[in-house]
Protein backbone atom coordinates (compact mmCIF):
# COMPACT_ATOMS: atom_id res chain seq x y z
CA UNK A 1 0.00 0.00 0.00
CA UNK A 2 1.39 3.40 -0.97
CA UNK A 3 1.26 6.24 1.56
CA UNK A 4 0.72 9.73 0.18
CA UNK A 5 0.48 12.81 2.37
CA UNK A 6 -2.43 15.12 1.61
CA UNK A 7 -1.04 18.59 2.22
CA UNK A 8 0.88 21.48 0.73
CA UNK A 9 2.66 22.11 4.04
CA UNK A 10 6.39 21.68 3.42
CA UNK A 11 7.23 20.92 7.07
CA UNK A 12 4.67 18.10 7.23
CA UNK A 13 5.88 16.73 3.90
CA UNK A 14 9.51 16.82 5.09
CA UNK A 15 8.59 15.10 8.37
CA UNK A 16 6.71 12.30 6.58
CA UNK A 17 9.56 11.92 4.09
CA UNK A 18 12.09 11.68 6.93
CA UNK A 19 10.05 8.87 8.49
CA UNK A 20 10.93 6.86 5.39
CA UNK A 21 7.43 5.65 4.53
CA UNK A 22 6.25 8.33 2.13
CA UNK A 23 5.42 7.41 -1.47
CA UNK A 24 4.03 10.71 -2.68
CA UNK A 25 2.03 13.87 -2.11
CA UNK A 26 -1.46 14.99 -3.09
CA UNK A 27 -2.50 18.62 -3.17
CA UNK A 28 -5.57 20.55 -4.23
CA UNK A 29 -6.42 24.25 -4.56
CA UNK A 30 -7.88 24.33 -1.02
CA UNK A 31 -4.70 22.85 0.49
CA UNK A 32 -2.58 25.39 -1.42
CA UNK A 33 -4.77 28.25 -0.21
CA UNK A 34 -4.51 26.96 3.37
CA UNK A 35 -0.73 27.43 3.16
CA UNK A 36 -1.18 30.93 1.70
CA UNK A 37 0.13 29.86 -1.71
CA UNK A 38 -1.73 31.93 -4.30
CA UNK A 39 -1.10 33.02 -7.89
CA UNK A 40 0.03 30.72 -10.70
CA UNK A 41 3.75 31.49 -10.39
CA UNK A 42 3.80 30.83 -6.64
CA UNK A 43 1.77 27.66 -7.01
CA UNK A 44 4.13 26.35 -9.69
CA UNK A 45 7.17 27.22 -7.57
CA UNK A 46 5.55 25.37 -4.66
CA UNK A 47 5.02 22.23 -6.75
CA UNK A 48 8.71 22.30 -7.63
CA UNK A 49 9.65 22.60 -3.94
CA UNK A 50 7.44 19.61 -3.12
CA UNK A 51 9.03 17.56 -5.93
CA UNK A 52 12.47 18.40 -4.55
CA UNK A 53 11.44 17.20 -1.07
CA UNK A 54 10.01 13.80 -2.02
CA UNK A 55 10.81 11.00 -4.43
CA UNK A 56 7.30 9.84 -5.36
CA UNK A 57 4.30 11.09 -7.29
CA UNK A 58 3.03 14.62 -6.69
CA UNK A 59 -0.56 15.31 -7.74
CA UNK A 60 -1.09 18.83 -9.12
CA UNK A 61 -4.68 19.83 -9.77
CA UNK A 62 -5.98 21.80 -12.77
CA UNK A 63 -8.46 24.56 -12.12
CA UNK A 64 -9.97 24.68 -15.62
CA UNK A 65 -13.32 22.98 -16.07
CA UNK A 66 -13.28 22.74 -19.88
CA UNK A 67 -11.37 20.16 -21.94
CA UNK A 68 -9.10 22.64 -23.76
CA UNK A 69 -8.22 24.45 -20.54
CA UNK A 70 -7.49 21.19 -18.70
CA UNK A 71 -5.24 19.99 -21.52
CA UNK A 72 -3.30 23.26 -21.60
CA UNK A 73 -2.90 23.40 -17.82
CA UNK A 74 -2.20 19.69 -17.46
CA UNK A 75 0.49 19.70 -20.13
CA UNK A 76 2.20 22.65 -18.44
CA UNK A 77 2.01 20.92 -15.03
CA UNK A 78 3.32 17.62 -16.39
CA UNK A 79 6.23 19.46 -18.03
CA UNK A 80 7.26 20.95 -14.66
CA UNK A 81 8.74 17.76 -13.26
CA UNK A 82 8.65 14.00 -14.03
CA UNK A 83 7.04 13.36 -10.62
CA UNK A 84 3.95 15.44 -11.41
CA UNK A 85 0.64 13.60 -11.86
CA UNK A 86 -2.14 15.70 -13.42
CA UNK A 87 -5.17 15.83 -11.15
CA UNK A 88 -8.50 16.21 -12.94
CA UNK A 89 -12.06 16.54 -11.59
CA UNK A 90 -14.58 13.79 -12.34
CA UNK A 91 -16.73 15.73 -14.77
CA UNK A 92 -17.32 14.98 -18.47
CA UNK A 93 -14.46 17.20 -19.66
CA UNK A 94 -12.23 15.78 -16.93
CA UNK A 95 -12.86 12.27 -18.24
CA UNK A 96 -12.14 13.42 -21.81
CA UNK A 97 -8.92 15.05 -20.62
CA UNK A 98 -8.01 11.89 -18.68
CA UNK A 99 -8.32 9.83 -21.88
CA UNK A 100 -6.27 12.43 -23.76
CA UNK A 101 -3.45 12.35 -21.18
CA UNK A 102 -3.60 8.59 -20.83
CA UNK A 103 -3.16 8.20 -24.62
CA UNK A 104 -0.10 10.48 -24.39
CA UNK A 105 1.43 8.54 -21.47
CA UNK A 106 0.88 11.39 -19.00
CA UNK A 107 -0.19 10.14 -15.58
CA UNK A 108 -3.48 11.29 -14.07
CA UNK A 109 -5.35 11.32 -10.78
CA UNK A 110 -9.12 11.66 -11.21
CA UNK A 111 -10.49 13.38 -8.14
CA UNK A 112 -13.80 14.21 -6.45
CA UNK A 113 -15.05 10.65 -6.89
CA UNK A 114 -18.07 9.71 -4.78
CA UNK A 115 -19.64 6.71 -6.57
CA UNK A 116 -18.60 3.37 -8.10
CA UNK A 117 -19.95 4.50 -11.50
CA UNK A 118 -17.66 7.52 -11.48
CA UNK A 119 -14.71 5.27 -10.61
CA UNK A 120 -15.62 2.94 -13.49
CA UNK A 121 -15.56 5.89 -15.90
CA UNK A 122 -12.16 7.01 -14.61
CA UNK A 123 -10.73 3.52 -15.14
CA UNK A 124 -12.23 3.31 -18.64
CA UNK A 125 -10.53 6.64 -19.44
CA UNK A 126 -7.19 5.18 -18.36
CA UNK A 127 -6.68 7.07 -15.10
CA UNK A 128 -3.48 6.20 -13.23
CA UNK A 129 -5.20 6.92 -9.90
CA UNK A 130 -8.82 7.38 -8.89
CA UNK A 131 -9.53 9.37 -5.71
CA UNK A 132 -12.69 8.40 -3.82
CA UNK A 133 -13.26 10.89 -0.97
CA UNK A 134 -14.15 8.69 1.97
CA UNK A 135 -14.22 11.32 4.74
CA UNK A 136 -16.62 13.56 2.85
CA UNK A 137 -19.00 10.62 2.36
CA UNK A 138 -18.80 9.83 6.07
CA UNK A 139 -19.63 13.51 6.70
CA UNK A 140 -23.01 13.03 5.02
CA UNK A 141 -23.82 9.74 6.79
CA UNK A 142 -22.76 7.58 3.84
CA UNK A 143 -20.23 4.79 4.34
CA UNK A 144 -17.05 6.01 2.64
CA UNK A 145 -15.24 2.72 3.18
CA UNK A 146 -18.01 0.86 1.37
CA UNK A 147 -17.13 2.87 -1.73
CA UNK A 148 -13.56 1.56 -1.53
CA UNK A 149 -14.89 -2.03 -1.41
CA UNK A 150 -17.20 -1.46 -4.36
CA UNK A 151 -14.46 0.06 -6.51
CA UNK A 152 -12.04 -2.75 -5.53
CA UNK A 153 -14.62 -5.35 -6.64
CA UNK A 154 -15.32 -3.63 -9.96
CA UNK A 155 -11.64 -3.07 -10.80
CA UNK A 156 -10.74 -6.65 -9.90
CA UNK A 157 -13.63 -8.04 -11.98
CA UNK A 158 -12.09 -6.55 -15.11
CA UNK A 159 -8.42 -6.20 -14.24
CA UNK A 160 -8.42 -2.42 -14.46
CA UNK A 161 -4.94 -1.12 -13.66
CA UNK A 162 -6.16 2.21 -12.24
CA UNK A 163 -4.95 2.47 -8.66
CA UNK A 164 -7.50 3.19 -5.94
CA UNK A 165 -6.23 6.22 -4.00
CA UNK A 166 -8.38 6.55 -0.87
CA UNK A 167 -8.64 10.31 -0.32
CA UNK A 168 -10.23 12.53 2.28
CA UNK A 169 -8.71 10.16 4.82
CA UNK A 170 -9.17 11.88 8.15
CA UNK A 171 -7.72 9.59 10.81
CA UNK A 172 -5.63 6.53 11.53
CA UNK A 173 -8.49 3.98 11.47
CA UNK A 174 -9.35 5.11 7.94
CA UNK A 175 -5.84 4.05 6.90
CA UNK A 176 -6.14 0.63 8.54
CA UNK A 177 -9.61 0.02 7.10
CA UNK A 178 -8.47 1.07 3.60
CA UNK A 179 -5.53 -1.33 3.89
CA UNK A 180 -7.89 -4.19 4.86
CA UNK A 181 -10.11 -3.42 1.87
CA UNK A 182 -7.23 -3.48 -0.60
CA UNK A 183 -6.93 0.19 -1.44
CA UNK A 184 -3.73 0.63 -3.46
CA UNK A 185 -2.92 4.02 -1.96
CA UNK A 186 -4.15 6.25 0.81
CA UNK A 187 -3.62 9.97 1.15
CA UNK A 188 -4.10 11.61 4.51
CA UNK A 189 -2.71 14.13 6.97
CA UNK A 190 0.56 13.63 8.85
CA UNK A 191 -1.42 13.13 12.09
CA UNK A 192 -3.20 10.07 10.64
CA UNK A 193 0.12 8.53 9.51
CA UNK A 194 1.78 9.21 12.87
CA UNK A 195 -1.22 7.68 14.64
CA UNK A 196 -0.11 4.30 13.27
CA UNK A 197 2.93 4.50 15.57
CA UNK A 198 0.94 4.68 18.75
CA UNK A 199 0.42 1.85 21.24
CA UNK A 200 0.60 2.19 25.04
CA UNK A 201 2.17 -1.28 25.36
CA UNK A 202 5.02 -0.17 23.08
CA UNK A 203 5.62 2.86 25.30
CA UNK A 204 5.40 0.97 28.60
CA UNK A 205 7.44 -1.96 27.22
CA UNK A 206 10.21 0.36 26.05
CA UNK A 207 10.24 2.21 29.39
CA UNK A 208 10.61 -1.15 31.18
CA UNK A 209 13.44 -2.31 28.88
CA UNK A 210 15.34 0.93 29.47
CA UNK A 211 14.75 0.81 33.23
CA UNK A 212 16.00 -2.81 33.40
CA UNK A 213 19.06 -1.90 31.32
CA UNK A 214 19.86 0.94 33.73
CA UNK A 215 19.52 -1.39 36.75
CA UNK A 216 21.90 -3.93 35.24
CA UNK A 217 24.47 -1.37 34.09
CA UNK A 218 24.98 0.81 37.15
O1 LIG B 1 -7.56 14.10 -0.73
C2 LIG B 1 -8.71 14.87 -0.79
C3 LIG B 1 -8.73 15.79 0.34
O4 LIG B 1 -7.83 16.83 0.19
C5 LIG B 1 -10.05 16.23 0.81
O6 LIG B 1 -9.98 16.01 2.14
O7 LIG B 1 -10.58 16.37 4.46
O8 LIG B 1 -11.04 18.15 2.74
O9 LIG B 1 -12.37 16.05 2.77
P10 LIG B 1 -11.06 16.69 3.08
Q: Residues 11-30: what's their mean pLDDT? A: 97
Rounded mean pLDDT, 18-23: 97
- Phi, psi (rounded to 5 degrees) for 62: -75, 155
- Count of domains forming the chain: 1
Q: In terms of residue numbers, what domain contains 38?
A: 2-216
| CA max distance for the chain | 73
| Residue 75: count of CB within 10 angstroms of its CB | 14
Nearest to 56 by CA among 158, 209, 165: 165
C-alpha to C-alpha distance for 177 and 162, rounded to whole angstroms: 20
Q: For a substitution probing ligand 1, which of 34, 139, 164, 168 has the most ligand atoms within 8 Å of its CB?
A: 168
Rounded average pLDDT over 2-28 = 97
Check if 135 has its Cβ closer than 6 Å to any atom of ligand 1.
yes
Give the whole-number percent of the chain exceeding pLDDT 70.
100
CATH number at residue 105: 3.20.20.70
156-207 pLDDT per residue, tens: 999 999 999 999 999 999 999 999 999 999 999 999 999 999 999 999 999 9
Residue 82 CA, ligand 1 centroid: distance in Å: 24
Say what the pLDDT of residue 218 is.
Answer: 79
Alpha-carbon distance of 114 to 118, in angstroms, equals 7
Is residue 26 lining ligand 1, measured as CB closer than 6 Å?
yes
6 close to ligand 1 (CB < 6 Angstrom): yes
Banded model confidence at residue 138, pLDDT cuts 50, 70, 90: very high
Average confidence (pLDDT) over 139-156: 98
Average pLDDT, the chain: 97
pLDDT at 76: 97
Instruction: Choose one of 2, 4, 6, 183 to mutate for the ligand 1 pocket test, by most ligand atoms within 8 angstroms of C-beta.
Output: 6
With a cut of 90, say whether residue 2 has pLDDT above it: yes
Q: Are 116 and 147 within 8 A, CB to CB?
A: yes
Q: Considering the entire predicted model, what is its pTM?
A: 0.96
82: nearest Cα among 103, 61, 57, 105: 57
Please indicate whether residue 87 is annotated as part of the active site. yes
Q: What is the pLDDT of residue 94?
A: 98
pLDDT tens digits, 37-91: 999 999 999 999 999 999 999 999 999 999 999 999 999 999 999 999 999 999 9
Amino acid sequence: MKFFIDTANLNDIAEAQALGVLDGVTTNPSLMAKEGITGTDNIIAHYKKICDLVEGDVSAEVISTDFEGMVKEGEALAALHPQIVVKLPLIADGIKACKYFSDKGIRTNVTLVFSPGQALLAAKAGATYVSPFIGRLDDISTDGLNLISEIRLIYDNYGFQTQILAASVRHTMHIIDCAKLGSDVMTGPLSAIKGLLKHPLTDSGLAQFLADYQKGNK
